[in-house]
Amino acid sequence: MHQAALLGGLIRDAPHYGWEVAQPVPHDWRKMAEAVQNHVKSLNWGHRVQLHDRKVKYFNVKAGFVDEHTVRGVAKGGKEILLSADHIVIATGGRPRYPAHVEGALEYGITSDDIFWLKESPGKTLVVGASYVALECAGFLTGLGLDTTVMMRSIPLRGFDQQMSSLVTEHMASHGTRFLRGCTPSQVRRLPDGQLQVTWEDCTTGKEGTGTFSTVLWAVGRVPDTRSLNLEKAGVDTSPNTQKILVDSREATSVPHIYAIGDVVEGRPELTPTAVMAGRLLAQRLFGGSSALMDYDKVPTTVFTPLEYGCVGLSEEEAVARHGQERVEVYHAHYKPLEFTVPGRDASQCYVKMVCLREPPQLVLGLHFLGPNAGEVTQGFAVGIKCGVSYVQVMQTVGIHPTCSEEVVKLRISKRSGLDPTVTGC
C-alpha cells in the first residue's frame, strides 16, 4: 500500500517527463486491496507448501501449555490434540492494542491489522498514535488521496532519532496529513449518518475538541500474544509490566528447553527480520552443532513513511548519552534527489547524518537517512557499520553518481565545526 501511494506521486510527476496523463488520476481501493490480499494469501499458502515439502507437521490450532513438555491444541471445531516435545519454541508475536479507557474504542475503531483487509476505502480517517505503524498507515492513506489526521499524545517515533522524526512528520504535514499534537481521545460514538464523532482533550490547554471521521484507526502500541498460552503451567516467566517473555542470550526462557523469539520477547526489536534470524540461529544451535548467538546490536530498519527513513546504530541522542557530547561528532547534509529535480519536488526534508566518535579514525556509531529508497540505502551501509567502519573509510569510498546513496560518502559538514578538517579535498 505504501508502494501504491508512491505510484500516485510518480503519476503526478509523469507530465513533467512528457507523459500525457490526465490529472487527477482516480484510485480504486477495492482493486488495490484485492491484489494486496491475494498476495498475502499466496505467501501463506507458500509457507504451507514449504512446510509440507520439508515434512514439517502443521497444526492449525489454538495452543496453550499443559506442562513444560506438553502443549494442548484446540481446533476451530473444538477437537483437542496433545503435543509433546523435547524443545518448544514460542513465536506467537503481538497484536495491536485497543485503548480500553476510551469509550467506543473497541466498538467503532479498527487497528493496523484491519486496514489491510478492508474491501472498501476507509474514507476520512483519524489515526491515533505516533509509532512507525501510525505514521506509515497515515502516510499511505494520504498518498492515496484520503483525508487523514494523526492524533499524537507526545513525540513521534519514540526511540528513533528525534531530529529525523521531526523531519518525517514535517514532510507528511507539507503533503497533506493533518496532525493533532498533544491530544488524547476520550470518546468515539457513531452518529445517525454512520460517521464517527471523536472527542479529545488538548493536554496543553485542557480544552475539548471534536471531529467527524469515517474511520478511526488505533495504532497505540502492541501487546504480546501470551495471555492464552498458560505459560504459568510450564513455569515460563514473563515481565510483570509488559507480559512479554523473559529470555537469555540463547533465547531460552526460565525453562531451559523452552525458547521464545520475536515480538513476544522482552527487550527485543519488534522487527520481522530479527525474529527470522534469531529463529534460524536457534535451530542451528539445537540441531546443527553451532554456538553462534543472535547479535541485536546495530540492527538496521526503515520506517516506510512517504519520505522513507532508514537508520542503523545509535541515534544522536543515544550516542551523546552513552559517550558524552564532547566525544561525538555528527556529519550531516541536506540533498536533492535527481528524481526530484525535473518535476520540481520539494526536497527540504531530504537529509542524511552520520553519528561518529570524535576521536580518529572516528568509528561510525549510527547512520540516519531520509529520502527515496531509504531501505535500500541503509541495508548496504549497515554491513559496513556492523563491521566497525570508520568515518575516514566511508569518505574514502567512491560514490555511485547520481544516486541518493552517494550522499552518504560525501558527508563533509560537521554539526560542531563546519567543514571536517581531517578529510582533504573538501
Same domain flag for 362 and 328: yes
pLDDT at 352: 98
Q: Which domain holds residue 236?
A: 59-88+226-272
Same domain flag for 70 and 149: no
Give yes or no for residue 415 having a pLDDT over 60: yes
Number of domains in the chain: 4
Domain end (from 186, 204, 221): 221
* Segment (H or E) for 367: strand 364-370
Same domain flag for 311 and 246: no
Q: What is the pLDDT of residues 241-278, one digit of tens each?
A: 999 999 999 999 999 999 999 999 999 999 999 999 99
Task: Report the amino acid identity of residue 21.
Answer: V
Same domain flag for 184 and 108: yes
CATH of the domain at 385: 3.30.390.30
Q: What is the pLDDT of residues 312-321, one digit of tens each?
A: 999 999 999 9
Q: What pTM did the predictor assign?
A: 0.95
Same domain flag for 242 and 143: no
Q: What is the pLDDT of residues 322-359, one digit of tens each?
A: 999 999 999 999 999 999 999 999 999 999 999 999 99
What's the CA gap between 349 and 347, in Å, rounded? Answer: 6
Task: Report the amino acid identity of residue 212.
Answer: T
Same domain flag for 196 and 257: no
Nearest to 310 by CA among 203, 108, 157: 157
Q: What is the pLDDT of residues 90-130, one digit of tens each?
A: 999 999 999 999 999 999 999 999 999 999 999 999 999 99
C-alpha cell at 69: 513438555
What's the CA gap between 386 and 213, in Å, rounded? Answer: 45
Same domain flag for 131 and 101: yes
pLDDT at 302: 98
Could you tell me if 389 and 364 are in contact, meaning their C-beta atoms sit under 8 angstroms apart?
yes
What are the φ/ψ torsions at residue 219 (nearest 5 degrees)? -135, 60
Q: Which residues pair with 367 in a beta bridge?
A: 312, 354
User: Position of cell 532519532?
Assistant: 161
Give yes or no for residue 425 having a pLDDT over 60: no
Percentage with pLDDT > 70 across the chain = 98
What's the CA gap between 336 and 353, in Å, rounded? Answer: 14
pLDDT at 424: 39
What is the chain's mean pLDDT, rounded? 96
Same domain flag for 201 and 236: no
pLDDT at 416: 81
Q: With respect to residue 424, please indicate whether it lies within any of the assigned structural domains.
A: no
Give yes or no for residue 420 having a pLDDT over 80: no
Confidence of residue 419 (pLDDT cuts 50, 70, 90): low
Q: What is the pLDDT of residues 155-191, one digit of tens each?
A: 999 999 999 999 999 999 999 999 999 999 999 999 9
Same domain flag for 410 and 319: yes
Is 401 known to be catalytic? yes
